[in-house]
Amino acid sequence: MKADADIVVVGAGLAGLAAAVSLARAGLSVVHVAPAAPPDRRTSALMMPSVDFLRRSGLVDDPAEIGHALTAIRIIDATPRLIRAPETLFEAAEAGLPAFGWNFGNARLLARFQSLAPSTSLQTRDAAVVSYERRGRLGAVTLADGTSVQAPLVVGADGKKSVIRTAAGIAAREHRFAEAALVCDLELARPIGGTSIEFHYPRGPFTLVPAGGNRANLVWIDEESLLRETLAAGPDALLRALHERSQRLFGAIALASPGFVFPLSTLTVDTAGADGVALVGEAAHAFPPIGAQGLNLGLRDVADLVDAVAAADRTDPDWGRLAAADYAARRAGDLARTGGVVDALFRSLLADMLPGQMLRAGGLWALKLLPPLRRRAFALGMGER
């Protein structure tokens, strides 16, 4: 059997495209199976380690050209609970940083990555994947048109319902929450500058992320039924809810884009790589949008994947299996640590029991009053390793 490329990457999202372009720019021949998808209207807050990786990989030159700096994080406990946390402000300058990270529109990032795709070493196939199997030392991906592509290493970046992960026999566990996220773009009467503002309510945070000028990206987490009912009631009902949740701190609010509701769940895997398959992005992990870890973790997947492939001896006929095993070992600690932290943080935001409220409020008091602990929290939140 003859390989069609060194690597096949499956998945049209940001993690899949970043993997395909980064590997191709590193000199590998890559087939990127990327079925057409509707425009991604979401945004991603990328912390500085992720932005640094994009710069090193040549995927982003100047983040200011397509993004907006996040210079501070303000947390407001808006719950009616008996024990409430203090209002807390975290500033990047305190950690000696110009910014914690940058907020990017996903569509702009996708366009940027696509513009940098090499014309010779990267081939893109607009097709759905129907099956995957291992044929000796090659992984074979079968497309909807009946054709197949084969390579020593196959990268599954095809989301929570990953065909590649399932066919490779890598076990995954998913937990669905009653909460969902409503996202849209807003125009505020008073700008928030570079500060991301989180109002913590009983069923999740209501977050405004800087998007330049008077614009902000909204991520509102609440019970899914409430969010869908509010959205279905029309723009006026939605605006009334937004004014109430934002405590009218920013004057009049106008909708700058349609709203969308996304169900929330967590997904974890036993391993991120096995038998010539490497999983990146939501094929390997998924979390609620807490602590800005989703795409940040996906880009750390891509960074470790590029390093694992670079370290592989590609004269070895079984190098695809060896690279997948190396990648899995590199990712194990980060996935376990980040998954545990994000899951615990999200559940703490939903805690109704008094002990949970005390722990959460005490934790924020400690972060507010103890600079060394606050700096450690900065490092963990930004994904430093």
Burial class (CB in 10 A: 0-12, 13-18, 19+), 138: buried
Instruction: Yes or no: say if 207 and 218 are a contact pair by the CB < 8 Å rule.
Output: yes
pLDDT the model gives residue 373: 47
pLDDT the model gives residue 370: 45
Checking if the pLDDT of 385 tops 60, the result is no
β-pair partners for 206: 199, 220
How far is 24 from 197, CA to CA, in rounded Å?
Answer: 38
Checking if the pLDDT of 197 tops 50, the result is yes
Q: What is the mean pLDDT of the chain?
A: 87
Structure tokens at 192: 């928030």
Checking if the pLDDT of 10 tops 50, the result is yes
**What torsion do the CA atoms of 371, 378, 187, 193 make, to the nearest 10 degrees?**
50
pLDDT the model gives residue 81: 59
pLDDT tens digits for 161-174? 999 999 999 999 99
pLDDT the model gives residue 356: 42
Report which of residues 249 and 1 the model is more confident about: 249
pLDDT band, very low/low/confident/very high, at 355 (cuts 50, 70, 90): very low
pLDDT the model gives residue 41: 78
pLDDT band, very low/low/confident/very high, at 149 (cuts 50, 70, 90): very high
pLDDT the model gives residue 257: 93
What is the secondary structure of 358-374 as a DSSP string? HHHHHHHHHHHH-HHHH
CA angle 318/319/320 to nearest 5° reads 95
pLDDT tens digits for 289-326? 765 567 899 999 999 999 999 999 999 999 999 999 99
Percent of the chain with pLDDT over 70: 85
pLDDT tens digits for 111-125? 999 999 998 999 999
H/E stretch holding 18: helix 14-25
pLDDT the model gives residue 384: 56
| Upper half-sphere CA count for residue 298 (Cβ side, 13 Å) | 28
How far is 203 from 149, CA to CA, in rounded Å?
Answer: 45
Checking if the pLDDT of 224 tops 50, the result is yes
Structure tokens at 184: 């849209």
Who contacts 383 (Cβ-Cβ below 8 Å, separation ≥6)?
47, 49, 50, 293, 296, 297, 300, 334, 338
pLDDT the model gives residue 346: 56
Least confidently predicted of 36-40, 184-188, 255-259, 267-271:
36-40
Q: What is the DSSP letter of 318?
A: T
Q: Which of 88-92, 196-200, 308-312 has the highest mean pLDDT?
A: 308-312
Checking if the pLDDT of 380 tops 80, the result is no
- Strands 88-91 and 101-105, by their bridges, are unpaired
Checking if the pLDDT of 105 tops 80, the result is yes
Instruction: Yes or no: say if 174 and 267 are a contact pair by the CB < 8 Å rule.
Output: yes
β-pair partners for 47: 101
Q: What is the strand order of the sheet 67-70 is part of? A: 43-47, 101-105, 67-70
pLDDT the model gives residue 158: 96
Q: For helices 14-25 and 106-115, give the axis angle rounded to 10 degrees.
A: 20
Q: What is the strand order of the sheet 122-125 is part of? A: 122-125, 30-33, 7-10, 153-156, 277-279, 273-274
